[in-house]
């Protein structure tokens, strides 16, 4: 059994906005083991980014008005750790790769120095040692002619190359955990596949745990071991990836999987007929009902079995498969014809 | 890898060929001069270079047809769309539309032609004026072109809101009160106001969430059927283009490298670049396989 790297329990984060308090993250639980890739999926406003940013305490403090729960990282609770201690963890024990490689790199600093910075800061290397190491690191993420490119500035790199630089910097100190927040969203599809492959190989090489935040189920299905599906600040489904994609239980997860236009399968149907959709839009996080947050958009919601009067709890429907719904697929009497992600792979 | 023996590639184009051609682009090119570099950055100031964003692009669009234009960033697909909408003046080439040439027509001719050719942009957050009420946003094209009076325009706005599936009272509210998907519906209603023949959709679903994206695709399809609209549908997302388009043109480095029916391009791609693009999308599964 590999050891637990991160154990998040009951994480809640409230944010202060002009319109009122937003319950951005509400009792979120998940665990990541050594060498495991956990994906957090959800649409905009689902709380996925606030969740991972809260792990590193990167949310602007003037915005956060309440935090609760525990974030147990290698035996210590990051939620109550001192700022000083946290900054010694960021970049050393936990690396992070953001969505937009241009705004996360310093435009007026040479690329080599940016990769060397965490080495000097956390590992106390000298400038020349760190630069030497930066060349090796850039070489590792397949930047051609790394020894010359360390003197380049970020604007001289393409989007994909910048993301490689960020990955090199984020993994420079060989962190235990790598957080990748929408790492390929800003990239073209052909580059996306390369970057995902690179993340995966870096992880395997150094045995890191990885948290991947994404709205793209295709990306998730490509590299995740387990998946947390978030909706309106809550975890609605949590299961091993293969299990989730083959046998999704929550109506929202099913809807997400079905909404993706599928290529090369039933194209007559897919192209001429209507695409499956989830009607409506997510609830307002300021005025949340004391009900299932998905009820309004759920085709199975009824008045009598509590969908609109109480919030369903997250329960383990099969070993390791958690779902928050009164109408999970395996408990429905009316059998729908659900599409699983294997459909788009069945060519 | 892309084979489907059960599927007969029929001749969906036959049906389309019989329909009348509404738009015909021939030899379209657009070159930009790079901006003059100031003397302080003398290293880069050698010469003003020419950026060939679009080179010799030709395609046609029939009534009721959707032509998908796919490509990665920098492929020239948006520049092409902007030239067709005459938001940019092409360097050379012709754009035949309803008997006139959009590439060379006068300002007043252009004004008339624009009634028949509308555009829906990618970002519904920046494409709607935040200070205008939704009703005004939708009625603006009618006002600009002097269609109807205040009263008939109000009725028209209500009808358009209904068409795109928005509540009738949305007209009095502001764009900021709506979600991304709803704003895109508003943008579509505005584009429909003058009952155009052609709508250029520039990445209309790229800034939306998946579940909302499919709602917008369905809406665009329904409207196409109802009004016999032609779409020039631009996207970097192959699965969205596949769901929308009758024919697909693949662009890279400013040129169309492959064009054919959606089935041809997806099932039997000829050009290497198309194959690369397809395998990148379908190949996400392969990442996992390589790791196992």
Test A190 with B288 for CB contact under 8 angstroms. no
Domain ranges in chain A are: 34-64+80-231, 248-345
Answer yes or no: is pLDDT of A338 > 60: no
pLDDT one-digit tens code per residue, A227-284: 999 999 999 999 999 999 999 999 999 988 888 776 654 454 455 567 788 888 788 8
Banded model confidence at residue B39, pLDDT cuts 50, 70, 90: low
Which residues in chain A have their CB less than 8 angstroms from residue B281's CB? 189, 218, 263
Banded model confidence at residue A1, pLDDT cuts 50, 70, 90: low
Q: What is the rounded end-to-end Cα distance, in angstroms, of chain A?
A: 36
- Domain B22-31+50-116+198-208+230-282 CATH assignment equals 3.40.630.30: no
pTM, 2 dp? 0.81
Closest by alpha carbon to B256, among B13, B50, B59, B25?
Answer: B59
Window 181-220 of B: residues touching A by CB (8 A cutoff) are 181-182, 209-215, 217-218
Closest by alpha carbon to B78, among B280, B236, B198, B281?
Answer: B236
Return d(Cα B20, Cα B1) in angstroms, integer.
Answer: 36
pLDDT at A291: 86
CATH architecture group of domain A34-64+80-231: 3-Layer(aba) Sandwich (3.40)
Structure tokens belonging to residue A158: 């393409």
Test A261 with B288 for CB contact under 8 angstroms. no
Domain ranges in chain B are: 22-31+50-116+198-208+230-282
Return d(Cα B89, Cα B92) in angstroms, integer.
Answer: 9
Which residues in chain B have their CB less than 8 angstroms from residue A347's CB? 1-4, 282
Strand spans (E) along B45-89: 50-62, 66-70
Q: Which residue of A has its CA nearest to B218?
A: A274
Q: Cβ–Cβ contacts within 10 Å for residue B112, how many?
A: 12
| Poorest-pLDDT segment among A64-78, A107-121, A152-166, A183-197 | A183-197
- Substitution target in A37, A221, A267 with the highest count of B β-carbons within 10 Å is A267
Test A189 with B280 for CB contact under 8 angstroms. yes
Test B236 with A261 for CB contact under 8 angstroms. no
Q: Which residue of B has its CA nearest to A258?
A: B211
pLDDT one-digit tens code per residue, B134-155: 999 999 999 999 998 999 999 9
Test A270 with B243 for CB contact under 8 angstroms. yes
Element (H or E) spanning A219, and its range?
helix A217-223
């Amino acid at each position: 059994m590999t050891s637990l790297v991160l154990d998040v329990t009951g994480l809640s984060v409230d944010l202060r906005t002009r319109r009122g308090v937003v319950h951005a993250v509400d009792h979120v639980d998940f665990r990541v083991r050594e060498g495991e890739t956990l994906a957090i999926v959800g649409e905009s406003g689902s709380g996925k980014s606030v969740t991972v940013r809260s792990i590193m305490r990167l949310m602007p403090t003037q915005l956060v008005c309440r935090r609760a729960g525990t974030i147990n990282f290698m035996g210590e609770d990051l939620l109550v750790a001192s700022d000083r201690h946290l900054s010694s963890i960021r970049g050393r024990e936990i690396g992070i790769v953001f969505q937009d490689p241009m705004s996360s790199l310093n435009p007026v600093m040479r690329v080599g120095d940016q990769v060397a910075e965490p080495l000097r800061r956390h590992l106390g290397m000298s400038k020349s040692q760190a630069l030497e190491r930066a060349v090796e690191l850039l070489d590792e993420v397949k930047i051609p002619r790394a020894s010359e490119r360390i003197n380049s500035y970020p604007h001289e790199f393409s989007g994909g190359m910048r993301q490689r630089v960020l990955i090199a910097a984020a993994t420079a100190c060989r962190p235990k955990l790598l957080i990748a927040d929408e790492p390929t969203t800003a990239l073209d599809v052909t580059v996306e596949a390369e970057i995902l492959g690179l993340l995966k190989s870096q992880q395997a090489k150094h045995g890191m745990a990885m948290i991947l935040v994404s709205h793209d189920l295709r990306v998730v299905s490509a590299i995740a071991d387990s998946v947390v599906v978030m909706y309106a600040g809550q975890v609605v489904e949590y299961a091993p990836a293969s299990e989730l994609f083959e046998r999704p239980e929550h109506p929202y997860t099913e809807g997400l999987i079905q909404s993706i236009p599928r290529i090369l399968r039933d194209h007559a149907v897919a192209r001429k007929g209507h695409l499956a959709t989830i009607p409506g839009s997510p609830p307002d996080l300021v005025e949340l009902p004391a009900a299932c947050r998905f009820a309004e958009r759920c085709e199975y919601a009824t008045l009598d079995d509590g969908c609109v009067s109480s919030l369903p709890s997250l329960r383990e429907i099969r070993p390791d498969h958690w779902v928050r719904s009164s109408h999970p697929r395996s408990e429905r009497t009316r059998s729908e014809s659900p599409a699983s992600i294997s459909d788009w792979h069945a060519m | 890898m892309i084979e489907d023996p059960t599927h007969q590639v029929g001749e969906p184009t036959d049906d389309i060929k019989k329909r009348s051609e509404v738009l015909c682009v021939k030899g379209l090119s657009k070159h930009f001069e790079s901006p003059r570099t100031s003397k302080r950055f003398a290293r880069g100031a050698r010469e003003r270079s020419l950026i060939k964003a679009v080179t010799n692009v030709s395609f046609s669009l029939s009534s009721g047809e959707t032509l998908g234009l796919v490509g990665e960033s920098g492929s020239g697909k948006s520049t092409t769309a902007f030239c067709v909408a005459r938001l940019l003046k092409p360097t050379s080439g012709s754009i035949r539309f309803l008997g006139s040439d959009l590439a060379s027509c006068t300002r007043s001719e252009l004004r008339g032609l624009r009634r028949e050719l509308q555009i829906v942009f990618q970002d519904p957050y920046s494409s709607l004026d935040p200070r205008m009420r939704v009703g005004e946003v939708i009625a603006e094209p009618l006002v600009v072109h002097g269609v109807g009076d205040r009263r008939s325009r109000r009725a028209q706005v209500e009808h358009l809101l209904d068409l795109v599936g928005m509540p009738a009272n949305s007209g009095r509210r502001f764009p900021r009160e709506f979600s991304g998907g709803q704003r895109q519906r508003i943008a579509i209603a505005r584009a429909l106001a003058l009952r155009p023949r052609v709508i250029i959709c520039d990445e209309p679903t790229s800034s939306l969430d998946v579940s909302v994206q499919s709602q917008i695709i369905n809406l665009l399809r329904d409207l196409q059927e109802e009004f016999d609209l032609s779409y020039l549908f631009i996207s970097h997302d192959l699965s969205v283009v596949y769901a929308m388009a009758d024919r697909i043109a693949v662009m890279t480095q400013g040129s169309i490298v492959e064009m054919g029916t959606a089935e041809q391009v997806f099932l039997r791609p000829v050009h290497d670049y198309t194959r690369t693009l397809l395998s990148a999308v379908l190949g996400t599964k392969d990442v996992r396989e390589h790791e196992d």
